[in-house]
Structure 1
Amino acid sequence: MLHLRLITPAGQTDNVCRLVRETVGTTHLVVLPGAARDPVGDVVMCDVAREAGNDLLSGLQRLGLETSGSIAVENIELSLSERADRAEAETPGESADAVVWEHLTEETHEESTLSVTYLSFMTLATMIAACGVVLDNAILIVGAMAVGPEFGPLVGVSTAVVRRRPQLALRSVIALLVGFAVAMAVTVGFSLLMDAFGLFTEAQLEGERPQTGFVYAPDWLSFVVAVLAGTAGTLSLTSAKSGALVGVAISVTTIPAAANAAVALSYGDAGQTWGSTQQLLLNLLGITLAGVLTLLTQKLFWGRPLKPLRRFSGSGS
């Protein structure tokens, strides 16, 4: 279930309440006349089944409430209510399949913000991966994959394409380009420093690396894994099953490939630098393509509007 807290101008409250009543899957309607101070208006609260969330939000936006008032949405982790159970039961579809598009857009917008924290995680993940590729340590590689925050901007690009949001696309692409550029540049310096202390050697990079040699040897299997991981990651975001994201993060080789390219560049190894760059680009392409196709499929099959169902009579608040 989703919980909506709305601030409505007094003249719109009746229309908002009517929309809530007529939308299938809604319950627990509460109206607090004159409770809002900034902006001035009434406070309207209700719960709605996740499957019906898009219909209700679209209707509220058509009423101009996002401009004249406010729309706030929260996930309800626990609801002990027979009314809520009935509201979910009468709503077609399953909550796990429902995509709340505005929530997805907002979430990817936040994940695609180019911030100090984002750059720090990108850089730290790449440096950890650099240690992993030089030491041929798969555990460090997995750890670096889990730390890397690059999946957010990648889903941001996919969401922007499907929802036709050029500003979100630009924001996500900038976060990706700047994030990888900064992380790789710092990792080059880190590699040179580690070499100066005798902790990294060119022989380690060039030697047999059965655990991590794949990061500079791209093939079609790498692309297939990226597509599968991108699909799983997108589904985990749209269905609010974020626990699957950890598995997605350790399935793709974006961060390890960037790290290997940086270390190879510090030693002047053009072959590994180019191979790692290809691996990086192949994974970025696969994840983005999978995200776009997954969201388009969800929009086609699970994003159809529900038929309104009037469950109450009257139009007053």
Structure 2
Amino acid sequence: MLHLRLIVPAELTEEVVQTVEKTVGTTHLVVLPGAARNPEGDLVLCDVTRELGHKLIADLRALGIEEHGSIAVENIDLSLSRRAEQAAQEAPGEAADAVVWEQLTEATHEESTLTITYVAFLALATMIAACGVVLDNAILIVGAMAVGPEFGPLAGICVALVQKLRRRVWRSLFTLVLGFAVAMVVTVVFSTVMDAAGLFSIAQLEAARPNTGFIYRPDWFSFVVALLAGSAGTLSLTSAKSGALVGVAISVTTVPAAANAAVAFSYGDFHQAWGSTEQLAFNLGGIILAGTLTLLAQKALWASQRGRMARRP
């Protein structure tokens, strides 16, 4: 369930309470008149099932609460209440399948912000992957995949496309492209330094590399895996099962492809550099396509469920 904490102007409190009470799946309604000081107003608390969370939040936003007060939402990990169990039974569908769009939009907005920390993680992951491709070490490749933070802006693009937030699409795309550009430039410098130190060599890069040679040889399996990973990653975000994101991260070769392209470019091996760039494009495109389609399917599913619910006598 979700816990909502609302700061409501006094003149809207009655309408807010009525909105909460008429929403199926709500419980534990508390009204504290005059409790809020900044901004001034009444404090309204309630719990709502995830299935109806988006509807209730949308109805409250339509009343203008976010302009004159506030709406705060928290996940409830444990609720020992018979009334909460009854509310969950009254709500349509299952909580794990529900999408709280406002929560998802805010989370992906934060994850797709271009920050020093984001760029640092991506650059470090790319340098780890560079060591992996030169040493043909699959463990380092997997580690680099897990460290890379690139799924944040990818998810941001998907959510913004579905929600038709054009500015956020470009913002997330900018974060993604610039992040990879900086990471690859840093990795080129890193590769040059490692070569000067005698730790990297072109012979290692152009060897058979049975464990990592696939990185610069993209095929349709690369795109298929990216589609599956994009769908799985999106489901993990919308269902709050974030543990699945680790599996998503180590199933696509975005960071290793960027690393292989950077190392190959530093040695003037443009064949590998181009192949790795294609691999990167395949993976990024597949994830965005699958993530967007998954969100559209979830949106259509919940729209149909709400329609059936509205037709009930």
TM bucket (normalised to shorter chain) is over 0.9
Matched residue, 1:103: 103
Matched residue, 2:221: 221
Tell me the secondary structure at the aligned position of residue 302 of structure 1: helix
Matched residue, 1:134: 134
Aligned 8 A contact 1:98 1:303 in 2: no
Q: CA deviation at 1:302?
A: 2.2
**Number of positions where the alignment pairs a residue of Structure 1 with one of Structure 2:** 309
Matched residue, 1:164: 164
Tell me the secondary structure at the aligned position of residue 4 of structure 1: strand
Matched residue, 1:155: 155
Runs of 4+ aligned residues of structure 1 deviating over 4 Å after TM superposition are 306-309
CA distance in 1, matches of 2:139, 2:78: 37
Higher relative contact order, structure no. (Cα contacts within 8 Å, ≥ 6 residues apart): 1
Q: CA deviation at 1:170?
A: 1.4
Matched residue, 1:15: 15
Summarize deviations over 1:197-225 as a string: whole Å, max 9, x none: 00001000000100000110000010000
| 1:93 partner letter | G
Tell me the secondary structure at the aligned position of residue 208 of structure 2: coil
Normalised to the residue count of structure 2, the TM-score between the two structures is 0.97
| 1:259 partner letter | A
Matched residue, 2:256: 256
Aligned 8 A contact 1:99 1:303 in 2: no
| 1:255 partner letter | V
Tell me the secondary structure at the aligned position of residue 93 of structure 2: coil
CA distance in 2, matches of 1:293, 1:16: 34
Tell me the secondary structure at the aligned position of residue 235 of structure 1: helix
CA distance in 2, matches of 1:183, 1:244: 25
Aligned 8 A contact 1:22 1:308 in 2: no
Unaligned stretches of 5+ residues in structure 2: none
Normalised to the residue count of structure 1, the TM-score between the two structures is 0.96
Q: Does 1:197 align with 2:197?
A: yes
Summarize deviations over 1:267-301 as a string: whole Å, max 9, x none: 00000000000000010000000011000000001
Q: CA deviation at 1:303?
A: 3.9
Structure 1 vs Structure 2 CA RMSD: 1.1
Q: CA deviation at 1:308?
A: 7.0
Matched residue, 1:314: none
CA distance in 2, matches of 1:168, 1:64: 23
| 1:267 partner letter | Y
CA distance in 1, matches of 2:90, 2:262: 55
CA distance in 1, matches of 2:8, 2:269: 63
CA distance in 2, matches of 1:147, 1:12: 47
CA distance in 1, matches of 2:108, 2:95: 20
Q: Does 1:68 align with 2:57?
A: no
Alignment of structure 1 residues 292-303 onto 2, 5 Å? 292-303=292-303
Unaligned stretches of 5+ residues in structure 1: 310-317
Tell me the secondary structure at the aligned position of residue 199 of structure 2: coil
Matched residue, 1:237: 237
Q: CA deviation at 1:66?
A: 1.1
